[in-house]
Every structure is written in structure tokens, then in C-alpha cells.
């Protein structure tokens, strides 16, 4: 299976929709690297959005039952060329086949992790959105 990343398609016609989708991605995935001082803090607006989308996509092992882990209301696309920039590495996980077979078990094991990290996620998400809005 080739390496795959989920990236922003560049459609900025509705920034509220972009913001909502970044919020969705970073509520579940770790986007702290794009915050000031992080290894990905030098990214452009488009690269930040791509990073958030990709973190969510990889967290879901490039898989979802309905095929929407890289859809983001038609704001994203899957690519096979590494979008990493300088020291900012866009992670990739090649676990889709395993995920398809154990999806139910993986979802159950992550529920506790999501609940435990909900406060941290809210703080990180707020900081990320403020940072992204400054880049526009």
C-alpha cells in the first residue's frame, strides 16, 4: 500500500467551513505541533489546515467505514507525495488493512482517551484557531 496523506485542497471561499473542519480534525487528533514554538509553527495557512486534516486522517489509520476520513466537506484530497515542510513532518501510518479488521475494537479503546483529553483538546483547539486566523 502506498503512503498517503490528506491535505487541504486550497478552497478558501468559505473560511468558516474551513475553520469548522479544522476544529473537527483537531478535536480528535493532536494538532499541537502547529502552535507557536512547535515543530510546525512556521507553516502557512494552507499548510496548517493540511496538517490538521492529515493528523485526523492518520489517526483514523487512513480509513473510515464511510470513506470520509479525508473528506472534510469537500475541502481535502488524498495525495501520495509527502507534504512535509522543512522540520515539520506530516506523519503517515500504513495501518488501513489492520484497521478494517479491528475497527470496532479500536473505536472502543479510544473512547476513554478522548474523554480524558477533552479539556486539553479544547485549550489546544482554541489556541490553534486564534493562530490560524492570524495567518489569513
CA atoms of 93 and 60, how far apart (whole Å): 9
Give the 3-state secondary structure of residue 76: strand
Query: What average pLDDT is seen over the chain?
Result: 80
Residue 14: DSSP 8-state? -
Task: Single out the residue of 64, 56, 58, 61 nearest to residue 21, CA to CA.
Answer: 56
Q: What is the mean pLDDT of residues 63-77?
A: 80
* C-alpha cell of residue 14: 468559505
At 121-130, the pLDDT tens digits run: 555 666 666 6
Q: What is the mean pLDDT of residues 80-96?
A: 88
Is the predicted pLDDT of residue 131 greater than 70, yes or no? no
Q: Where are the beta strands (DSSP E) in the chain?
A: 5-8, 76-79
* C-alpha cell of residue 101: 479488521
CA atoms of 113 and 103, how far apart (whole Å): 16
The verdict on pTM exceeding 0.85 is: no
At 28-64, the pLDDT tens digits run: 999 999 999 999 999 999 999 999 999 999 998 887 5
CA atoms of 76 and 87, how far apart (whole Å): 23
Which pLDDT score, from 0 to 100, does residue 80 have? 92
**C-beta pairs of 102-108 under 8 Å, 24+ apart in sequence:** 103/63, 103/65, 106/61
* C-alpha cell of residue 63: 480509513
Amino acid at each position: 500500500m502506498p503512503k498517503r496523506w490528506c491535505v487541504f485542497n486550497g478552497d478558501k471561499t468559505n473560511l468558516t467551513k474551513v475553520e469548522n473542519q479544522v476544529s473537527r480534525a483537531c478535536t480528535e487528533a493532536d494538532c499541537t505541533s502547529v502552535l507557536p514554538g512547535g515543530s510546525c509553527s512556521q507553516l502557512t495557512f494552507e499548510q496548517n489546515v493540511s496538517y490538521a486534516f492529515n493528523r485526523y486522517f492518520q489517526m483514523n489509520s487512513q480509513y473510515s467505514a464511510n470513506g470520509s476520513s479525508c473528506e472534510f466537506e469537500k475541502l481535502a484530497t488524498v495525495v501520495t507525495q509527502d507534504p512535509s515542510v522543512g522540520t515539520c513532518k506530516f506523519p503517515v501510518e500504513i495501518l488501513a488493512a489492520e484497521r478494517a479488521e479491528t475497527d470496532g475494537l479500536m473505536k472502543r479503546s479510544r473512547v476513554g482517551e478522548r474523554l480524558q483529553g477533552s479539556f486539553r483538546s479544547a485549550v489546544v483547539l482554541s489556541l490553534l484557531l486564534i493562530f490560524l486566523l492570524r495567518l489569513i
